[in-house]
Every structure is written in structure tokens, then in C-alpha cells.
A and B are shown apart, each in its own frame.
Chain A
Amino acid sequence: MLKYLVPIGLFAALVGFLYFGLGRDKQTLPSPLIGKSAPVFELTRLEDPAKTFSNAELAGKPYVLNVWGTWCVGCRQEHGALLEIARRGEVPIVGLNWNDDREAALGWLQQLGNPYAVTAFDGEGRAAIDWGVYGAPETFLVGANGTVIKKHIAPLTVEIWEQEFVPLLPQAKAGSP
């Protein structure tokens, strides 16, 4: 009896491993930032290199940080969704223009529309490293108390926004973790 049980058991274990391996999302890495305070950056504004913007200015208010670049295909894909989310006005969207060219980025916003309340220009990718960004588009939700509540990697859609972000908005506004 044992003679048959052992190979069948091993086979079942292998099938189990493979099955769960198939279903797992190996592309999206968990962010160590969730539940911690959002890294502070001070960068020049996209539209004016003489003016700076720091996310410290947003203390006490929830906001969304969207990391994008004109070289990023997924960013073009999600742009319509960002415009719709901005139109609803539930929470302001801050843009982080990552490793990009200022002129190209301004042209992009002019051509496709500008969903961002303000866009910071991170030409050297320093703020992006502090935020643990590895692949645009990435979208963070930051609460009123300054903690990172959620991170979404991959293009945003209105459906994902409604299902994964909107339920977190009361928490983001209250600022309690």
C-alpha cells in the first residue's frame, strides 16, 4: 500500500507547487513602503525648472502619486483613466515624471491632457529610488497623515481605481492607518 501512496503523495505535492506557482503574480513585487511614511522629495516643477515642489507641501491631505515617463508605453495606456480619475476630483494626483525629457513630457501633457494637480520632474531618478520605483507606471496612495497606503504597479484603469483605491479613500482622508 505504502508503495503506491508515496509516489502518489509526491506527485500530488508537485502538482500543488506547480498549481500555486502558476497562479502567483511574480511580476509585482510587494512594496516595503506600505504603512510607512512617504519619502519626502523636493524637485523642480515640470513646467518651470525655476520653481520647486515638495510633497511635504501636501501634509495633512491625501494624494495619489503617479510615476510616469513619455518613454513608458503603459503610461500612455493608463492616461485616459488618470484623466477620468482627475475629473472626479476625489483626491489630487501628483505626477512624478521619471527619467524623462522635460520638453517631451510637456508635449505629452499638452497633447493628451493633464490629469496632474502638479508634476515634479525627477530627471535623475533620485526620488523614484526613494520610493522604490522599478517600473513605470506605478501609482501610490498616500494618506492625510503621510503614510503610504497602497501601491499599484502596471497601468491603472477606472475599474482598478474603483475596486482597489476608492474603498481606501475614507482611510486615506481620515489619515489613520
Chain B
Amino acid sequence: MKQFFLALVLALCGLQAFAIDKAPAFEDPVQQARYERLSRELRCLVCRSETIADSNAQLATDLRRQLRELMAAGKSDQEIMKYMTDRYGDYVLYKPPVSPRTWLLWAAPALLVIGGGIAAAIVISRKSKLSDTDPADPGLGDT
């Protein structure tokens, strides 16, 4: 059984492997991992909801080639991201940077939780102060 699960995990890991290029881009596994990570951080601008790691569009293929070349030229992650945003703007980043234009987007989950929490607290405290006026409901106090 244990072996079965191990095999299953390994099989699923296999699915995660980089399949869009015909061959691994770099022989060095560290560089290859970096290449895979960076290509998942860049958006394919034709297909919008895909990263260049997922897309078969010609533009994504060209951008992956560009990424490989920049890495081979020894550019840092920051330099590569700047190269991309200089040409395509922040939209090319799959994870938008926190900026005056995007703070609401980033803050939205926290704001919703806080707002919901406040609303729930108000409703609960109000309801708990109400006296039980429903004659059909014996209430907990009578049992």
C-alpha cells in the first residue's frame, strides 16, 4: 500500500514537470528550476489567463526563448523582470506588484474578512440582547 502511494505521488510529480518545451532548456537542474519558476511568473499576453509556461502561443514561445537567452547571458531575476515590464508593462507579471493602482486588489480579501466580521459581531450582539417573544417557541430556558 505504501509503495502504491509512493508511486502515485511520483506519477503526479511527473505531471508537474515542464512539458511545454520539447527538451529541457538547461542542463543544470538549478538553472532549469529557475527557468521554470520565472516562466510561471510571466503572463502570456495573447492568452491572458495563462503564463508563458502554459501557453503554446507563438508569443509565449518567443518570450520563453527570450527568457532563456537572458538567463544564459547571466541576468538576474530582477533584470529579467525589468526587461519584460519595460516592454509590456506590469501586466506581463502574473502576480501584480503592490502599487497605488493595485492596493485595493491585494487588500480586498482582508477587507472582506474584517467587514464580514464586524457585520457578524453586530448581528450576534443585537440578537443576543433581544428577549424571546415568540410564544410558540418554548425556548431553552423552559426545558
Q: Which residues of A contact B (CB under 8 A)?
A: 29-33, 99, 124-126, 128-132, 134-135
Contacts and interface: CB of A to CB of B under 8 A. Distances in A.
Interface stretch (B12-20, B26-34, B58-66, B127-135): B58-66
Secondary structure at the A interface, as helix, strand, loop or mixed, is loop
Contacts of B85: 32
A29 B58 contact: no
A126 B46 CA distance: 16
| Size bracket, chain B contacts | 10 to 19
Given A32-B86, A32-B87, A125-B62, 12 more contacts: A29-B45, A29-B91, A32-B85, A32-B88, A126-B62, A126-B66, A128-B62, A130-B87, A131-B87, A134-B45, A134-B59, A135-B59
A123 to B, nearest CB: 11
B89 interface: yes
Nearest to B66: A129
A149 to B, nearest CB: 17
A125 B58 contact: yes
A134 B88 contact: yes
Contacts of A135: 45-46, 59
Interface of B: 45-46, 58-59, 62-63, 66, 85-89, 91
Contacts, number: 37
Nearest to A133: B59
Nearest to A135: B46
Nearest to A36: B86
5 contacts: A29-B91, A32-B86, A32-B88, A124-B62, A129-B62
Contacts of A130: 87
Given A124-B62, A129-B63, A134-B59, A32 B89 contact: yes
Nearest to B90: A32
A132 B58 CA distance: 14
A29 B44 CA distance: 13
A129 B86 CA distance: 10
B87 A125 contact: no
A99 B57 CA distance: 12
Contacts of B63: 129
B58 A99 contact: yes
A124 B63 CA distance: 11
Contacts of A131: 87
Contacts of A126: 62, 66
A29 B59 contact: no
Contacts of A124: 62
A42 to B, nearest CB: 17
